[in-house]
Chains A and B, each alone.
Chain A
Amino acid sequence: MKKIDMYREVPEQFHNKLCDTLEQLEEKKIVKFSVKKYVAACAVALLATSTITVGAMELFEWYQAASERFETSRELENKLTSQGVAIPVEDSDEQLDMKMSALQAVKTDENFYLLAALEWPEELEWNEDILFEESKIIPAQEFGGCTVNFAGEPDENGIIYVEIDVLGKSNAEYVEDVTVVLKNLIQTEKTETTDILVEAEWELTFSLPTNEDTRSFLTAELLPVNGHNLSLERLEINAFAAKLYTEEEQGRHASYYSDMELAAVQYEDGSRIEQYGDFLRNCTAKDEEGKFYFNLSLNNAVDVDKINGLVFEEKGREFVLALGEKVNNQMAENENLTQADKATLVDLLQQESEMTVEDFRILYVRHDNVILSDSKKIYLWDAQCDNAKMIMNLTDYDYNEEKGGEIAMMPGGVVVAVHPMADSNIVYMLDMDNYDVQEVGAEGIWPVPGYEDYKNSFFKVSDKNDLPEGVYATEGYEAQGRAFVLYSADGSVENMELLDINKD
Chain B
Amino acid sequence: MTKEEFSQKVLELEAVLFHVSYGILKNVQDCEDVVQEAVLKAYANRSKLKERQYFKTWLVRILMNECYTFLRKRAREMPYNEAISEDAEAASAFIKEEYLDLYESMSQLEERDRICVQLFYMEGYSIKEIAKVFRIPEGTVKSRLNRARMQLKKSLGGQW
Q: Give me the interface of A with B, judged by CB distance under 8 Å.
A: 1, 3-8, 10-11, 13-15, 17-19, 21-22, 25-26, 28, 68, 127-129, 189-190, 192, 259, 313, 315-317, 434, 436
In this complex, what residue of A is CB-closest to B13? Answer: A18
Interface of B is mostly: helix
Ranked nearest first, the 10 interchain pairs of A and B with the lowest CB-CB distance are A316-B143, A315-B139, A6-B99, A22-B7, A316-B139, A316-B140, A17-B32, A21-B36, A3-B124, A10-B18
In this complex, what residue of B is CB-closest to A16? Answer: B32
| Cross-chain contact A315 with B17 (CB below 8 angstroms) | no
Q: Give me the interface of B with A, judged by CB distance under 8 Å.
A: 3, 6-7, 10-11, 14-15, 17-19, 28, 31-32, 35-36, 39-41, 43-45, 47, 72, 93-96, 99, 102-103, 121-124, 128, 131, 137-144
A22 to B36, CA, bound (A): 9
| B43 neighbours in A (Cβ, 8 Å) | 25
With A22-B39, A316-B142 known to touch, is A8 a contact of B95 (CB < 8 Å)? Answer: yes
Kindly provide the distance from the CB of A143 to the nearest chain B CB, expressed in whole angstroms.
Answer: 28
| Cross-chain contact B3 with A18 (CB below 8 angstroms) | no
| Cross-chain contact A8 with B143 (CB below 8 angstroms) | no
| B14 neighbours in A (Cβ, 8 Å) | 10, 15, 18
Kindly provide the distance from the CB of B1 to the nearest chain A CB, expressed in whole angstroms.
Answer: 11
A317 to B143, CA, bound (A): 8
A25 to B12, CA, bound (A): 17
| Cross-chain contact A129 with B44 (CB below 8 angstroms) | yes
With A3-B121, A17-B32, A22-B11 known to touch, is A189 a contact of B96 (CB < 8 Å)? Answer: no
Pick the residue among B7, B94, B121 that contacts A8 (CB under 8 A).
B94
Pick the residue among B36, B99, B123, B131 that contacts A18 (CB under 8 A).
B36
Interface of A is mostly: loop
A-B interface pairs (CB < 8 A), number? 99
Kindly provide the distance from the CB of B51 to the nearest chain A CB, expressed in whole angstroms.
Answer: 8
| B45 neighbours in A (Cβ, 8 Å) | 128
A114 to B56, CA, bound (A): 35
30 intermolecular pairs with C-beta atoms under 8 Å apart: A1-B124, A6-B96, A6-B99, A6-B102, A6-B122, A7-B15, A7-B96, A10-B15, A13-B28, A14-B31, A14-B32, A17-B36, A18-B11, A18-B35, A18-B39, A19-B11, A22-B7, A22-B11, A25-B6, A25-B7, A25-B43, A26-B3, A128-B45, A129-B44, A190-B47, A313-B140, A315-B139, A316-B137, A316-B142, A316-B144
A315 to B142, CA, bound (A): 9
A17 to B35, CA, bound (A): 9
Kindly provide the distance from the CB of B120 to the nearest chain A CB, expressed in whole angstroms.
Answer: 8
Kindly provide the distance from the CB of A155 to the nearest chain B CB, expressed in whole angstroms.
Answer: 12
| Cross-chain contact B39 with A3 (CB below 8 angstroms) | no
With A18-B39, A22-B11 known to touch, is A8 a contact of B96 (CB < 8 Å)? Answer: yes
| Cross-chain contact A25 with B143 (CB below 8 angstroms) | no
| Cross-chain contact B6 with A3 (CB below 8 angstroms) | no
| Cross-chain contact A315 with B140 (CB below 8 angstroms) | yes
Kindly provide the distance from the CB of A430 to the nearest chain B CB, expressed in whole angstroms.
Answer: 14
A436 to B103, CA, bound (A): 33
A192 to B48, CA, bound (A): 11
A479 to B19, CA, bound (A): 51
| Cross-chain contact B131 with A25 (CB below 8 angstroms) | no
With A13-B32, A17-B36, A18-B35 known to touch, is A7 a contact of B95 (CB < 8 Å)? Answer: yes
A26 to B5, CA, bound (A): 13
| Cross-chain contact A22 with B96 (CB below 8 angstroms) | no
With A315-B139, A434-B137 known to touch, is A18 a contact of B17 (CB < 8 Å)? Answer: yes
A129 to B15, CA, bound (A): 29
| B7 neighbours in A (Cβ, 8 Å) | 22, 25
A90 to B8, CA, bound (A): 49
Pick the residue among B3, B99, B122, B138 that contacts A434 (CB under 8 A).
B138
| A192 neighbours in B (Cβ, 8 Å) | 47
Kindly provide the distance from the CB of A251 to the nearest chain B CB, expressed in whole angstroms.
Answer: 20
A15 to B14, CA, bound (A): 8
